[in-house]
Amino acid sequence: MGGVIQYPVSTEKGIKVMEAENRLIFVVDFKATKKDIKAAVESMFKVKVESVNTFVSQGRKRAYVKLGRETPAINIATQMGLI
């Protein structure tokens, strides 16, 4: 994917979050801000992002990206080839 977003996370927990909360999880560049992540996801997938939460785990920065109600996260995951 490159740039701000490095790759999506496709773990069991990631799939549950996708279905239950309409969120996608990405590993992102360590220096990326929430605004950078939001802009990257909106331009890459042509969707509206409601919020971005980030945390650092095992030396990697992850972003939980909540999508607008009009776009199911499952559709974007299918488009990326995760499901």
Q: Residue 14's domain is classified under what CATH number? A: 3.30.70.330
The length of the chain is 83
Q: Provide the pLDDT confidence category of residue 60 given band limits of 50, 70 and 90.
A: very high
> Helix, strand, or coil here: 76?
helix
Residue 48 sits at φ, ψ, to 5 deg, of: -95, 130
Residue 17 belongs to domain spanning = 5-80
Q: How many domains does the chain have?
A: 1
pTM comes to: 0.90
What are 2-31's pLDDT values in tens digits?
689 999 998 899 899 999 999 999 999 999
> Helix, strand, or coil here: 43?
helix
Task: State in Å, rounded, how far the first CA of the chain is from the last one.
Answer: 17
